[in-house]
């Protein structure tokens, strides 16, 4: 499904500046903010969007914002959409949480009627612009736009004003083991560390390496060297031989005995698989080698 271009990549300011109370949009409250498109609404009528990309909020930052709100109020309206018996936050959950902490009874809101895709895009844009998302939350939001709304990576990149490479690199973090992803969320690892660990395929080794990075406080460069060494060790490690089917092995043993009887010396068939391998014929002197060669020539002739 091709995504329509609706200017979302331009940022929130252009969205919020639009005339919002379209035909059919619900009336938010009785009180209109003078000189704005916002209306004042009882804070208890507003609830967060459970599907918004951001899941983690810095408690200290919220307390700091709540102190500011106590002095100056909520300066930027929340963007909301009418649900059955409440208004769901599209953008501004951090302000809503801080206002609750500050004991504010009413908040300015702008009501919009939007599709689920537009709500997801706006929530993602708001958080990216304010650098509020951790790398894993951002990657999950991109993945949701791709899977739930059938967008392509270049379309997602256009909507959030990022390069396609940036979106691709962000989503690669989802290849990490869940425990390593949590370490990124908890800021135990940087994005640079996480990207280096992606080079390790085994989830358990990813986690062990991540713990080593954290415990030893390795730099990103040191991490890249560590991962490269691990990859070289795996590459140079002897590969276990694949065992043949016992019936095939029995046939090869019989062939070895037949050739031993014909050539009069030890013969060994080393099979890699059922179609290829190596044939070894032993000799113990130059005369014996000449004899074996003469026998083969005679058979060939």
Sign of CA dihedral 255, 260, 263, 265: positive
Helices (H) and strands (E) in the chain, counts: 13, 8
* CA–CA–CA angle 270, 273, 274 (5° rounding): 105
- Active-site residue flag, 93: yes
Encoded tokens for 269: 């068939």
Whole-angstrom distance, CA of residue 153 vs CA of residue 157:
6
* Active-site residue (options: 93, 106, 126, 137): 93
Is the separation of the CB atoms in 125 and 160 below 8 Å? Answer: yes
Whole-angstrom distance, CA of residue 124 vs CA of residue 53:
6
Helix (H, G, I), strand (E, B) or coil at 264: coil
Catalytically active residues are 93
């Amino acid at each position: 499904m091709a995504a329509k271009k609706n200017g979302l990549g331009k940022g929130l300011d252009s969205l919020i500046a639009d005339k919002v109370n379209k035909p059919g949009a619900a009336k938010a409250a009785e009180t209109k903010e003078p000189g704005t498109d916002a209306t004042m609404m009882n804070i208890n009528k507003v609830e967060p969007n459970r599907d918004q990309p951001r899941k983690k909020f810095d408690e200290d930052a919220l307390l700091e914002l709540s102190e500011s709100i106590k002095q100056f109020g909520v300066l930027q309206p929340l963007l909301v959409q009418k649900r059955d018996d409440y208004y769901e936050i599209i953008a501004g959950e951090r302000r809503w949480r801080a206002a609750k902490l500050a004991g504010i009874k009413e908040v300015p809101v702008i009501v919009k009627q939007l599709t689920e895709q537009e709500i997801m895009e706006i929530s993602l844009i708001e958080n990216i612009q304010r650098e509020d998302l951790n790398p894993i939350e951002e990657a999950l939001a991109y993945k949701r736009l791709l899977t739930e709304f059938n967008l392509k990576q270049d379309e997602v990149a256009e909507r959030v004003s990022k390069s396609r490479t940036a979106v691709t690199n962000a989503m690669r973090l989802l290849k990490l083991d869940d425990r390593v992803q949590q370490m990124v969320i908890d800021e135990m690892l940087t994005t640079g560390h996480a990207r280096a660990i992606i080079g390790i395929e085994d989830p358990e080794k990813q986690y062990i390496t991540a713990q080593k990075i954290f415990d030893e406080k390795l730099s990103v460069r040191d991490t890249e060297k560590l991962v490269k060494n691990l990859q070289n060790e795996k590459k140079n490690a002897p590969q276990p031989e694949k065992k043949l089917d016992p019936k095939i092995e029995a046939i090869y043993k019989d062939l070895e005995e037949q050739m031993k009887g014909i050539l009069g010396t030890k013969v060994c068939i080393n099979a890699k698989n059922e179609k290829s391998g190596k044939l070894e014929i032993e000799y113990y002197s130059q005369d014996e080698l000449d004899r074996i060669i003469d026998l083969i020539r005679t058979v060939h002739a």
